[in-house]
Amino acid sequence: MASLQMNSPIGRNALDDAGTDAIVGKPLDRVDGRLKVSGGARYAFETQQANTAYGFVVEASIGKGKIRSIDSRAAQKAPGVVLVLTHLNAPEQGTGNHREAHPVLTGPDVTRYGQPVAFVVADSFEQARAAAYLIRIDYDQAPGKYALRDGLKQARIPEQADAPAADSAVGDFKAGYESAPVQLDVTYTTPLQSHAMMEPHATLAMWQGDRLTLHTANQMLNQGREAIAKTLKLPGENVRLVSPFIGGGFGGKLWVNADAILAAIAARQLGRPVKTALTRQQIFHVTTHRSDTIQQIRLGADADGRLLAIGHDVFSGNLPTEQTYEGAALQTRTLYAGANRLTRHRLAPLDIPVASSMRAPGEAVGLMALECAMDELADKLNIDPIELRIRNEPAEDPEKHVPYSSRHLVACLREGAQRFGWQNRNARPGQVRDGRWLVGMGVAAATRGNPLRHSKANVRLGPDGVAIVRMAMTDIGTGTYTILAQIAAEMLGLPMERVRVELGDTSFPEAAGSGGSFGAASSGSALYEACDALREKLAGIAGMDPATARFADGSIASGEQSTRLTDLVGAGVDADGEIIPGRTSKDFSQQSYGAHFAEVGVDEDTGEVRVRRMLGVFTAGRVLNAKTARSQAIGGMVFGVGAALHEEMTLDPRFGYYVNHDLAEYHVPVHADIPAIDAIFLAELDDKSNPLKSKGIGDLGICGAAASVANAVYNACGARIRNYPITLDKLLAKLPAEA
């Protein structure tokens, strides 16, 4: 196995040598596109198996308390019903936080609204659903804390094992802030949000003896396998997860959910396959969500706008047993210069469903506050918002005191300003009109961490000249199949049609999975190493020096010698590759960057906000596919429009219940909400990042996008709304006086 630990920068390599004819980077169509548009791609619920039974989840209808009695007799006698699971007959399970295990039906205690309290299995989905409504449950209710503000007094310092320290301090923030000539102290709030992915959570569970196979919608299969094994008290090698296609995730499928565990338990008891899918309404309470936040930002600056003190305090909420917090101040530690700094996160214990990662956890909502605060400071100083950001460009990471691996934020701001026509912006709010519309422009910086995770890959070149790539990676609609095919084709000198990528199966080499903007870099780097090892093997068989061998058109050449690859492989040759994070992640501060520009119109009478145009300019190392990268960036920007203007789960604070638990009333942007929108990437290579010299893109587009819209709203009408989303009712009160 070719194994690389990232302990030093990457020198010139095979991807750099590809030149203008490179396959990597080209805007190629998705290799799985035809399967998806023709219905050939099979998702978890579409997997067929003979004699399958169907399960339906019964949710708790209280926020906190205990089941006093549960009567399932009518359900058990209903047509087609073969099993009713409750805490009275469910097996003992392993425990842990939501990342480690997902026990269900373990006792009478109810810790949150929507907690599964029964699982009805029948010969058809309709029979299971009908029988579920026949179960009668009596509860003893207990008082609970549901709204974030109700839990602030009990908020604690979170200790999440795989996250940065909750607090950071550099210099003397208190003294720096109090002595600053210009001070800004503002509080922003962001709401509860749901992932709202297209495909619901679904699982088909099958047993062969003591071995379990789950066809399931899960973004990180190896991690999911361990959680399922721990929950069901099985050896890890006895669990196989299969998930070749996932219809969106946004973090909502990072962790194992009730569908997988309940289907597995029922299938074992019945000795037949069991399939279940959560309804759209159930997803809101049974799975995870993004916590709401309360964020206080304090900025102290001199008269020229140079930051002297930066403070960012964040409150978020989660179940008392959980440590996962919304790291909304993490990007504040690295984005701007300033000698005196303080960031703090506090986690309030709440009796509502588990809060966890949602697209760009931390930065997505943190920049909604920080980048608006920077806009407020620019307004207070009468300095252009772009110029303010440029004046606070750091020479090194201001808290870690290490160099940036690469950083071109200023270039993004300047390029975007020129392309967007920023010079035409009127700095004074409410001065530009288009009929009854008040028109304004806004800008915000984008940044997202660039993680790398341990991954492995195998590539095999067969006698037919087809290279088969295998790893337990997933594709959540982002284009993973395509970029991996491009990497293999580039490295082995094959046309794209001679590469077959097989993903989504834990029987393949371990991979990081999709999430956190680490998927492409981690899986792609492992594949790069596997292909590099295969190149070396093939060169050895051909009697050539691997250092000088060239791969192109299905052949290997060195000097005047050239040989077809199919003449070298016999029955087939394969190689393994592995990427391991190393010192470069500590020796360098690694982020992707960008700048968002938005123009909005605000109706002077109704307060209706319409986004008129948007532009994102980004740098993210080597772009692996120009088309899928642009698509990802634009998708994130649309996500940002939703965060700014639409998305909010409305909590009933009496019962811990999300009132708008469907897509009719949980509003996300639709086609009519999205105008002319574009995203471009500036050329960049990051040799400290990974062998591909790429950076993460999946989450970058959402980071800062909402703030650019909010800042444009202020420029349009003079109304500064600090409570997201920016809805009509919040604007109307300010329009008469300020429009």
**Contact by Cβ (8 Å): 639, 493:** no
Q: Does residue 215 share a domain with residue 111?
A: yes
C-alpha 457/C-alpha 78 separation (Å) is: 49
**SS3 annotation, 600-640:** EEEECCCCCEEEEEEEEEEECECCCEHHHHHHHHHHHHHHH
Last residue of a domain, one of 286, 315, 338: 286
Instruction: Specify the residue for token string 């299971």.
Output: 128
Last residue of a domain, one of 251, 286, 321: 286
Extract the tokens encoding 74: 């009518």
pLDDT of amino acid 18: 86
Tell me the residue length of the chain: 739
Q: Vertex 243, ends 241 and 248: CA angle to 5°?
A: 135
216 in any annotated domain? yes
C-alpha 474/C-alpha 518 separation (Å) is: 12
Amino acid at 662: D
Bridge partners of 216, per DSSP, are 203
**Contact by Cβ (8 Å): 485, 459:** no
pLDDT of amino acid 20: 80
DSSP summary character for residue 62: S
Extract the tokens encoding 420: 């967007």
Distances (CA, A) of 215 to 48, 112, 573: 10, 28, 30
C-alpha 525/C-alpha 523 separation (Å) is: 6
Phi-psi region of 444 (alpha: psi -120 to 50; beta: other; left: phi over 0): beta
Amino acid at 689: S
467 in any annotated domain? yes
Closest CA to 522 of 456, 458, 478, 584: 456
Distances (CA, A) of 270 to 46, 88, 125, 409: 21, 17, 16, 58
Q: What is the CA radius of gyration of the chain?
A: 27
Q: Does residue 721 share a domain with residue 620?
A: yes
312 in any annotated domain? no
**Contact by Cβ (8 Å): 320, 349:** yes
- 3-state class of 98 per DSSP? coil
Give the distance from CA 247 to its chain's centroid: 14
Distances (CA, A) of 340 to 176, 396, 589: 6, 15, 19
Distances (CA, A) of 130 to 80, 123, 155: 10, 12, 42
> The domain containing residue 642 runs over which residues?
362-451+587-738
C-alpha 519/C-alpha 242 separation (Å) is: 17
**Contact by Cβ (8 Å): 567, 426:** no
pLDDT of amino acid 737: 57
Q: Does residue 536 share a domain with residue 420?
A: no
The DSSP result for 506-560, as a single string, is TTSPP---S-TT-HHHHHHHHHHHHHHHHHHHHHHHHT--TTT-EEETTEEEETT
C-alpha 354/C-alpha 7 separation (Å) is: 36
Q: Does residue 574 share a domain with residue 486?
A: yes
Q: How many domains in the chain?
A: 3
**380: Cα within 13 Å, side-chain hemisphere:** 19
246 in any annotated domain? yes
Last residue of a domain, one of 549, 564, 580: 580
pLDDT of amino acid 97: 87
Q: Does residue 137 share a domain with residue 59?
A: yes
β-strand pairing of 202-208 with 550-552 = unpaired
C-alpha 468/C-alpha 32 separation (Å) is: 15
Q: Does residue 232 share a domain with residue 102?
A: yes
Amino acid at 254: L
Report the chain (739 residues): mean pLDDT per 10 consecutive residues: 97 90 96 96 97 98 98 98 98 92 98 98 98 98 97 96 94 98 98 97 98 98 98 98 98 97 98 98 98 98 98 98 97 98 98 97 98 98 98 98 98 98 97 96 98 98 98 97 98 98 98 96 98 98 95 95 96 98 98 98 95 98 98 98 98 96 97 95 98 97 98 97 96 72
Q: Does residue 458 share a domain with residue 427?
A: no
Q: Does residue 629 share a domain with residue 552?
A: no
C-alpha 708/C-alpha 367 separation (Å) is: 10
184 in any annotated domain? no
Q: Does residue 50 share a domain with residue 25?
A: no
- Residue 692 makes CB contacts below 8 A (sequence gap 6+) with 15, 24, 487, 520, 521, 524, 525, 528, 621, 622, 624
Extract the tokens encoding 77: 């006698």
Specify the CATH number for the domain of residue 19: 3.30.365.10
The string over 415-448, giving b where at least 16 C-beta atoms fall within 10 Å of a residue's C-beta and e elsewhere, is bbbeebebeebeeebbebeeeebbbbbbbbbbbb
C-alpha 236/C-alpha 258 separation (Å) is: 19
C-alpha 214/C-alpha 209 separation (Å) is: 14
Q: Does residue 206 share a domain with residue 120?
A: yes
498 in any annotated domain? yes
pLDDT of amino acid 5: 98
Kind plus residue range of the DSSP H or E element containing 490: helix 480-492
C-alpha 10/C-alpha 16 separation (Å) is: 11
Give the distance from CA 297 to its chain's centroid: 25
Distances (CA, A) of 362 to 259, 273, 328, 704: 27, 39, 4, 11
Q: Does residue 711 share a domain with residue 614?
A: yes
- Sign of torsion over alpha carbons 215, 221, 223, 229: positive
Extract the tokens encoding 499: 């590469």
58 in any annotated domain? yes
**Contact by Cβ (8 Å): 583, 590:** no
**Contact by Cβ (8 Å): 412, 595:** yes
C-alpha 95/C-alpha 98 separation (Å) is: 9
344 in any annotated domain? no
The string over 588-605, giving b where at least 16 C-beta atoms fall within 10 Å of a residue's C-beta and e elsewhere, is bbbbbbbbbbbbbbbbbe
Amino acid at 610: R
β-strand pairing of 109-110 with 65-71 = antiparallel
Closest CA to 206 of 268, 121, 119, 269: 268
Output phi, psi for 31, to 5 deg.
-70, -20
Q: DSSP strand E in 86-167: where?
A: 109-110, 116-122, 136-141
Q: Does residue 474 share a domain with residue 417?
A: no
